[in-house]
Amino acid sequence: MKALLKLIHFEVRRFRWFLFGLMAMTALYQMAVTVVYALGERALRMPDPGRDPETIPGPMSVYHLLSRHQETYALPVLVCVVSLLLYAFLIWYRDWLGRGAFIYRLLMLPQPRAYLYLSKLAAMLLFIFSLLSLQLALLLVIEGIFSAIMPAEFRLEARFADLVAGNELIAFLLPVSPKVFLQYYGMGIVLLLAAFTAILLERSRRPAGIVLALAYAAAMLVIPFGVILAGATGLYESLGLYIHEIIWTAVGVWLAGGALAAWLGIRVLNKNVSV
Amino acid sequence: MKRYLLTVLLAVFALGGIGTYYVHGAVHPLPAYRIAVTEGDEALFDRLVVTAFQSHPSPPRQLEISLAGSEYEHERSVFDIRRSIHPLEAELGVHARRFLRGKWASPVNFYLDGQTVVYAETQDVPAADGRADVFVNVEMMDLESGKRSDFRVLLESGVAGLWPYVADVQRIGEELHLFVEYGGEYRVYVLAMDGRLVRMVQVSLPPAVLEGERDGSVRMSLAANHRPQDPKSVVGILVKIYGTREDGTDPADGGQEAPAGGTMTGESAGDLGDPPGLTRMDAGDGPRLQRIDLYVYDYAAEDVRPAGRYELGGSTEQWYNLMTGRHHVLYRYGENGLEMLRMSLADGGVERFVYTAEQLGGHPVRTFTREGHLYVLTHAGDGSLEGAGITVLDLDRAAVAARAVVAPANRAAEDPAVTLLLEDFALR
Amino acid sequence: MIEIENLQKRYLRKHVLRGVSFTVEPGLITCLAGLNGAGKSTILKAIMGLVPVDGGSIRIDGRETALHLTGNRGQLNRYRALKVAFIPDRPAMPPSMKVGEALRFMADFYPAIWNEEKARDMLAFFELGEGERLGSLSRGTAAKFNLVLGLALETPYVLMDEPFSGIDLFSREAIADVFSTGWLEGRGVLITTHEIREVEHLIDRVVLLKDGVVAKTFDSEEMRLAENKSIVDIMREVYRP
């Protein structure tokens, strides 16, 4: 068990500069953009004898600032998302780089190979959730900047829930309800497990491996999503299933898919993977 | 431990941040509401759900409000899916769930007396030349024993472009009578219990009606029944007659000034002026409804007879209808209130009832009927909770049966800056 | 003893190993020789569980460890790691890692068998500093460091894959010296190499691979005494008849 934690620490450590880079980029960008926009909004509202009072906008909240600049605030978040998606693959492939690659060392370690799978999974989850926490902290910072720049008479109050709702991408990544969070990140973890297993399939029995990997990936995408999409065709009504039965079946399929992915991935790692 | 500081700190930051977010969300929830019954039987509101939009200086969020509380749409997850319940489940007893699998929820396809349930639904099977053969699938079950018998009967063959559907199911003795709407016409197919088509009865209305149908000045539709699954002796057919008045005047111009105060009146039907306390809603350019004649098809006699007439004097508004065991009801509503015309099925006499917005507790937004009750959703129109509620009218007694209001369920909902706009409601 | 029996391996159409059988005795240095592409590296990696084979058995001190037969279940990965140290032809560590960090890595994950003192002795013997980045080491230095990582693990068996390939003369001499130190004492060593001449005097047994099978196995000392032939002589006989 302790070796698992050491492996997790190893994986976190080797990615730390890139992670800090993503965090710094997101923080600096969102803060800078907030300063610029807040100054602009303040200037718009400054009393000016030359302007028609009708055109001066009323007070606004930081929610409005966020919701008016969707793409701007979403951009660094998108960069983080894409980076993590890429690293979901690179976290494995970087070990195979070059001859005499590091994967030799990892496979030879006295610890069960399942630890390799689990440590990379745990590291990815840490990266994802730490970036989410960073975004939450940044929303507080953004509100602080806004309150510092905008005088009280130009400002409206906003709930924290509204701050999160301000940007569509952020609202999607940080749902208000913990049950919805569990649902979507649960699905995401299942997909991550499937990706890991597909990578390991590709890394065994080459060149047939890539065919296997693609076939597995296709199955993992089609079956769980297919169960859901088939509902749209009315298939379930004709089979006489109640809606809650359909939903619970879909949940079951996803859970089974996740368990199968982990089991298969670890099995391939033990038995079939090749340097 | 110091060596692993990086990972430990990262884990604490990651889990702590997200944990704090959700704890904060639980401690500072969005406004919550509930339906609070102020008068009458709570059971009438049992499965009622009101859809609303809540906003603050912030994004509008859709939510559903019921007796139990409110649920925001964006907070729904797979973990919140409840067991789906067919509206007729309670009446079908022990074997209900098995029988109701895969069946449409509309009660018109069902016939339910105390002992058996019958379900009938049409099915088009493609035949040659782009035509179709129309079958009816009949399933019957004894309520106590759960014993079932199913059969399938060919009703019509080689049909082109029509969509026949079952509008009512009756069992009379050992025969099943299926009232079918068939491309604008009505027919009754009589089946024997062993699965044979015994005869077909063409439901024929007077020739003037049919002629009016052809030139568009007359439109037919079936009366909505408050409990289609019950055994009944008649099916109501509404015949709507359009056009200008016989003396050529436009009825809208002759409207009287609305007198002060609204009361329930027992006036007999006459020309419609503006009822007391209620202004006419929409004097648009649509076709003017002069009157609606109610005919009934009698299952036993297998023929059609007139039952009564509503004089509407060129109304352009939307009228809704419902037939209970003893009455047929026609009603319309607008911001100012609701007007109801009630015809006795025994003698065809029509009474008029008016409920103003004050009497209803708010401006009517939506209505629906269920089992002899008319549910009216009201709101103040300004997003506040004043006047936001539901009034339930008992149609047979023409009286208020129950009232409920939309009440705040937590402190956030009591904030006067928060607005709640009621959109729609339904019984689930 | 490491017992290899009837090892089979196919790469697409190429049937590289067609039934290889030999043993690695404890305390002896066995050399696996063959032409390029004969599959020597593959056999070493197969023993180490880095490459799955299509058939055959690999037993280490009596316990079956072949991936396809055992699924690598239970504590097998650990058993194999504690019994056999593998020294590949390149240092299998991230290039950004420093020498000291690599040593800490090994100490961290092999607490039962990592000999820190031995590692430091070897580091001094090879004159390697701790602060150097692995990526910036010359091939010779990297090869030496590789030996440190492998030999400081107290395992009864050591596998070396081409320890001399592509390395400068002096580094090669330093590596060859290792064989005379006590660091290989009592261990069963399996080494593959082209540079037979460098270590001819050190090798106890030779296994010659040809066309996917073992063509000849012999004791080098006996062969020299009995037939007055060197290893190279025998190889010439087998490969160029």
Dihedrals φ, ψ of B79, to 5°? -80, -10
Are C94 and A272 a contacting pair at CB < 8 A? Answer: no
**Does C222 have pLDDT greater than 90?**
no
- Long-range CB contacts (< 8 A, 24+ apart) of B203-206? B203/B179, B203/B237, B203/B297, B203/B304, B204/B304, B205/B237, B205/B239, B205/B295, B205/B304
By the CB < 8 Å criterion, does C69 face chain A? no
CA C3 to CA C63: how far, in whole Å?
10
- The answer to whether the CB of A178 falls within 8 A of the CB of B78 is no
Residue C73 DSSP symbol:
-
**Does B252 have pLDDT greater than 80?**
no
Each of the 275 residues of chain A gets a pLDDT tens digit; together they read: 889 999 999 999 999 999 999 999 999 999 999 999 999 988 888 887 777 777 788 888 899 999 999 999 999 999 999 999 999 999 999 998 866 589 999 999 999 999 999 999 999 999 999 999 999 999 999 999 999 999 988 888 888 888 998 999 999 999 989 999 999 999 999 999 999 999 999 988 766 778 888 888 888 888 777 777 776 666 666 666 777 887 888 888 889 999 999 999 999 999 999 88
Which residues is B295 bridged to in the sheet?
A: B237, B306
Question: What DSSP string runs through A18-68?
Answer: HHHHHHHHHHHHHHHHHHHHHHHHHHHHS--TTS-GGGS---B-HHHHHHH
Which tens digits make up the pLDDT trace of B81-93? 777 777 788 788 7
Determine the pLDDT at residue A18.
96
Are B57 and A242 a contacting pair at CB < 8 A? Answer: no
- The shortest C-alpha distance from A166 to chain B (Å) reads 8
Q: Which of A175, A192, A216 is the last residue of a domain?
A: A175
By the CB < 8 Å criterion, does A102 face chain C? yes
Mean pLDDT in residue range C233-239: 84
> Which residues in chain A have their CB less than 8 angstroms from residue B56's CB?
159, 162
Mean pLDDT in residue range B9-37: 93
- ipTM of the complex as predicted: 0.92
Dihedrals φ, ψ of B44, to 5°? -65, -20
Residue of C nearest to A104 (CA): C92
Q: Which of A107, A263, A275 to mutate to test the interface with C (most CBs of C within 10 A)?
A: A107
> Which residues in chain A have their CB less than 8 angstroms from residue B24's CB?
160
Given strand C84-87, what is the order of strands in its sheet? C84-87, C157-161, C188-192, C29-34, C205-210, C213-219
**Does B44 have pLDDT greater than 80?**
yes
CA B19 to CA B13: how far, in whole Å?
10
Are C81 and A109 a contacting pair at CB < 8 A? Answer: yes
**Does B258 have pLDDT greater than 60?**
no
Q: Which of A5, A108, A272 to mutate to test the interface with C (most CBs of C within 10 A)?
A: A108
Which sign does the torsion angle of CA A180, A183, A184, A186 carry? Answer: positive
CA C74 to CA A270: how far, in whole Å?
11
Residues 88-107 (C) with a CB less than 8 A from some CB of A: 88-94, 105
Grade residue B260 by pLDDT with cuts at 50, 70 and 90: very low
Of C68, C89, C109, which is closest to A110 when you measure between CB atoms?
A: C109
Are A9 and B4 a contacting pair at CB < 8 A? Answer: yes
- The shortest C-alpha distance from A28 to chain C (Å) reads 28
Are C52 and A273 a contacting pair at CB < 8 A? Answer: yes
Which tens digits make up the pLDDT trace of B165-209? 899 999 998 899 999 988 778 999 999 988 888 999 988 888 777
Are B6 and A174 a contacting pair at CB < 8 A? Answer: no
**Does C181 have pLDDT greater than 80?**
no
Based on the fold, state whether residues A125 and A154 are members of the same structural domain: yes
As given in the structure block, the two tokens for residue A58 are 């009323």
Which of A202-211, B63-72, B281-290 is predicted least confidently? B281-290
CA C29 to CA C206: how far, in whole Å?
9
Angle formed by the axes of helices C139-151 and C169-178, nearest 10°: 10
As given in the structure block, the two tokens for residue B426 are 């339904």
Based on the fold, state whether residues A59 and A156 are members of the same structural domain: yes
Mean pLDDT in residue range B305-314: 85
Q: Which of A107, A141, A175 is the last residue of a domain?
A: A175
Dihedrals φ, ψ of C78, to 5°? -70, -45
* Chains in contact with A via at least 3 Cβ–Cβ pairs below 8 Å: B, C
Please give the helix or strand (H or E) that residue B289 lies within, else none.
strand B289-298
Which residue ranges make up each domain of chain B? Answer: 33-88+196-427, 89-195
By the CB < 8 Å criterion, does B81 face chain A? yes
* Chains in contact with B via at least 3 Cβ–Cβ pairs below 8 Å: A
As given in the structure block, the two tokens for residue B295 are 């005919």
As given in the structure block, the two tokens for residue B47 are 């499965």
Which tens digits make up the pLDDT trace of A211-222? 888 888 888 888
Are B75 and A180 a contacting pair at CB < 8 A? Answer: yes
Best-predicted range by mean pLDDT among A124-138, B225-239, B266-280, B330-344?
A124-138
Based on the fold, state whether residues A203 and A144 are members of the same structural domain: no
Dihedrals φ, ψ of B106, to 5°? -70, 130
Of A102, A207, A271, which is closest to C93 when you measure between CB atoms?
A: A102
Based on the fold, state whether residues A209 and A183 are members of the same structural domain: yes
> Which residues in chain A have their CB less than 8 angstroms from residue B17's CB?
129-130, 132-134, 136-137
- The shortest C-alpha distance from B397 to chain A (Å) reads 37
Task: For residue B418, give Cα distances in angstroms to A143, A159, B203.
Answer: 21, 12, 55
Boundaries of domain holding A110: 1-175
Distance of CA A107 to the CA centre of its chain: 28
Based on the fold, state whether residues A55 and A156 are members of the same structural domain: yes
Dihedrals φ, ψ of B406, to 5°? -85, 115
Which of A232-241, B66-75, C190-199 is predicted least confidently? A232-241
Q: For the CA atoms of A85, A87, A92, A96, what is the dihedral angle to 10 degrees?
A: 130
> Which residues in chain A have their CB less than 8 angstroms from residue C67's CB?
270-272
Residue of C nearest to A272 (CA): C52
Longest CA–CA separation in chain A, Å: 80
Which sign does the torsion angle of CA B184, B186, B190, B191 carry? Answer: positive
**Does C128 have pLDDT greater than 60?**
yes
Determine the pLDDT at residue B285.
63
CA B35 to CA B223: how far, in whole Å?
31
pTM for the structure as a whole = 0.85
Are A270 and C72 a contacting pair at CB < 8 A? Answer: yes
* Chains in contact with C via at least 3 Cβ–Cβ pairs below 8 Å: A
Grade residue B269 by pLDDT with cuts at 50, 70 and 90: very low
Are B102 and A178 a contacting pair at CB < 8 A? Answer: no
As given in the structure block, the two tokens for residue B371 are 């089992």
Grade residue C180 by pLDDT with cuts at 50, 70 and 90: confident
Determine the pLDDT at residue B253.
29
Which sign does the torsion angle of CA C154, C156, C159, C160 carry? Answer: positive
Residue C128 DSSP symbol:
-
Based on the fold, state whether residues A171 and A46 are members of the same structural domain: yes
Of A112, A270, A274, which is closest to C71 when you measure between CB atoms?
A: A270
Of A6, A107, A271, which is closest to C68 when you measure between CB atoms?
A: A271
Of A157, A183, A242, which is closest to B79 when you measure between CB atoms?
A: A183
Q: Which of B8, B21, B76, B121 to mutate to test the interface with A (most CBs of A within 10 A)?
A: B21
Q: Which of A20, A120, A159 to mutate to test the interface with B (most CBs of B within 10 A)?
A: A159
Q: Which of A90, A271, A272 to mutate to test the interface with C (most CBs of C within 10 A)?
A: A271
Residues 9-48 (B) with a CB less than 8 A from some CB of A: 10-11, 13-18, 20-22, 24-25, 28, 30
Residues 200-229 (A) with a CB less than 8 A from some CB of C: 204, 207
Determine the pLDDT at residue B280.
52
- The answer to whether the CB of B225 falls within 8 A of the CB of B107 is no
Radius of gyration of chain C measured on its C-alpha atoms: 18
As given in the structure block, the two tokens for residue A48 are 């000016």
- The shortest C-alpha distance from B73 to chain A (Å) reads 10
Looking at per-residue pLDDT, the higher value among A246 and B366 belongs to: B366
Determine the pLDDT at residue B57.
57
Size of interface A-B (CB pairs under 8 A): 121
**Does B275 have pLDDT greater than 60?**
no
- The shortest C-alpha distance from B356 to chain A (Å) reads 38
- The answer to whether the CB of B410 falls within 8 A of the CB of B420 is no
Burial label for B72, CB within 10 Å (0-12, 13-18, 19+), is: middle
Determine the pLDDT at residue B333.
87
CA A265 to CA A256: how far, in whole Å?
14
Determine the pLDDT at residue B249.
40
Provide the domain count of chain A: 2
Grade residue B273 by pLDDT with cuts at 50, 70 and 90: very low
Determine the pLDDT at residue B403.
94
As given in the structure block, the two tokens for residue A119 are 């440590």
Are A101 and C92 a contacting pair at CB < 8 A? Answer: yes
Cis peptide before A178 (omega within 30 of 0): no
Percent of chain B with pLDDT over 70: 89
> Which residues in chain A have their CB less than 8 angstroms from residue B21's CB?
136, 174
Of C73, C78, C94, which is closest to A14 when you measure between CB atoms?
A: C94
Contacts of B68 (CB under 8 A, 6+ apart): B34
Of A6, A160, A181, which is closest to B24 when you measure between CB atoms?
A: A160
Contacts of B136 (CB under 8 A, 6+ apart): B120, B121, B122, B123, B152, B153, B155, B166, B178, B189, B191
Mean pLDDT in residue range B333-345: 88
Determine the pLDDT at residue C18.
93
Based on the fold, state whether residues A163 and A229 are members of the same structural domain: no
Looking at per-residue pLDDT, the higher value among B417 and C68 belongs to: C68
Based on the fold, state whether residues A220 and A242 are members of the same structural domain: yes
Dihedrals φ, ψ of B161, to 5°? 65, 15
- The answer to whether the CB of C181 falls within 8 A of the CB of C202 is no
By the CB < 8 Å criterion, does B242 face chain A? no
Based on the fold, state whether residues A131 and A3 are members of the same structural domain: yes
Based on the fold, state whether residues A49 and A182 are members of the same structural domain: no
Burial label for B260, CB within 10 Å (0-12, 13-18, 19+), is: exposed
Are A162 and B78 a contacting pair at CB < 8 A? Answer: no
Dihedrals φ, ψ of B38, to 5°? -105, -15
CA B284 to CA B275: how far, in whole Å?
19
Q: Which of A175, A199, A226 is the last residue of a domain?
A: A175
Q: For the CA atoms of C80, C84, C90, C91, what is the dihedral angle to 10 degrees?
A: 80
